[in-house]
Amino acid sequence: MKDSLLDSVATPKVAIDWFRSTPWWRFASQCIVISWRSTHLLLCAAGLLLTQLWISASHRIFGPNETVVQDWLSPSALPNGWLPVLEAQGTELPLSIWQRFSYPVYQWLSNPTVNGAAFGLSSMIGIIAIWSFVGGCLTRRSVVELGTRMTAPWAESIQLVLKRWQSIAWSVTMPSGLILMIAVLPLTLGWISNIPGIGEWIAGLLMIPVVLFSVGIGWCAAITLFGFPLSVCSIVTEKGADAYDGVSRSAAYTFQRPLTLALCIIAAEFLSSVGGTLLSIVLSTGLRVIEAGFDIGSYSSLKEFGTMWGQLLRGIVPLLLSAYGFSFFWTAASATYLILRRDVDHAEFDLIDMGDQEPKPLPELSKKERAVLPSDPDSVKPIPGPTLPENTAE
């Protein structure tokens, strides 16, 4: 009895590509690895120092006595005793970092004075200028590595961000400027209410339609606050993107896929805590070894240094931990942007603007090579090819 023809046919094996079916898994593992690289940590540390200096200077110039300068350098610590041997500090989570960027605005709203408004405006200008560049560089490198699995060179990333730095900053200030324009109406009515007798009645009557503008102000504020990191990612990812593209894409992705965005934020909070704990253990262990070696060779202890050097040395580890939180914030924003873009626009992850790659001109010929060339190109006869035998079959 012969075997059936179906028995000799090889059955194809089907394997599931988990990285394509579950892209979040690759992003989850890569976000931590990208965010704690030394170059990213040092760039965020420099951004934190510049931001602290800018806010301190703004407070000295504009800030009233009630204003408290926010500390951008020290991360929040985990509860004492959770790891008594290492005494590791925790890094800040993405939501707390997002609150730092919006801190001057809420501070001004809690203390609506002229000095408070000037301090808040000055602080926001510095924050936007500094972190548009820092965030642009980090998101550019993160987007390229997450999307194409290739590392973007620093020189090309900085060059692209510098070209679009103004667009990144304008994507934040554009909706903020619209908010300020609408806020002029209640400001004017506030002055009218000071008129004795009829001022309060006129202002109260005119405030009824003005209050309806609160919906528009709320939408603009939501686009500014929630879409700030997404607009940065859009400008450094899409080809020829500008501020309008950043605002429109961030608004569309935020309000069309709010549940996906919420899930990405929850995942980022968890991953940031895991990566920050690991980095904290590493840095705390290394600091303990250095302190022990210094204490053995010195008559005093490193912790007892009261000079500037002691404060500087003891502040390096908290600064790096805080820098990791900001580095992960921008890396997680890049992963979130790629996921939302694929969900809304159905764009593949590797669809990224790789810069203006112009074709290079051919090298010039030497005099000897040009002398060999014929003066009349039409006089050049083609080289005859091999002759094929004729088909004699009837």
Q: 368 lies in a domain?
A: no
Which pLDDT score is estimated for 333? 92
Q: How many domains does the chain have?
A: 1
The Cα 134–Cα 51 span in angstroms is: 11
Which of the four pLDDT bands, split at 50, 70 and 90, describes residue 78? very low
Mean pLDDT for the chain overall: 75
Which pLDDT score is estimated for 75? 55
81 pLDDT higher than 70: no
Structural contact between residues 91 and 276, judged by C-beta atoms closer than 8 angstroms:
yes
Q: 351 lies in a domain?
A: no
Q: 14 lies in a domain?
A: no
Q: 173 lies in a domain?
A: yes
Which of the four pLDDT bands, split at 50, 70 and 90, describes residue 79? very low
Alpha helices in 102-164 (DSSP H): 103-110, 114-148, 154-163
Which of the four pLDDT bands, split at 50, 70 and 90, describes residue 250? confident
The Cα 55–Cα 169 span in angstroms is: 18
Q: 245 lies in a domain?
A: yes
Q: What is the pTM of this model?
A: 0.75
The residue-averaged pLDDT of 94-106 equals 76
CA dist list (Å): 159 to 154, 163, 255, 355, 383: 8, 6, 32, 9, 49
DSSP of 321-373: HHHHHHHHHHHHHHHHHHHHHHHHH---TT-------PPPPPPPP-HHHHHHS
DSSP-derived 3-state class of residue 92: coil
76 pLDDT higher than 50: no
Which of the four pLDDT bands, split at 50, 70 and 90, describes residue 297? low
Which pLDDT score is estimated for 331? 93
Q: Which domain holds residue 325?
A: 23-345
Q: 190 lies in a domain?
A: yes
Q: 8 lies in a domain?
A: no
Q: 291 lies in a domain?
A: yes
Greater pLDDT, 146 or 386: 146
Alpha helices in the chain (DSSP H): 18-21, 23-35, 38-61, 94-101, 103-110, 114-148, 154-163, 165-192, 199-211, 214-237, 243-256, 258-297, 308-314, 316-345, 367-372
In this predicted structure, which of 226-230, 282-286, 294-298, 384-388 has the lowest mean pLDDT? 384-388
The Cα 30–Cα 338 span in angstroms is: 14
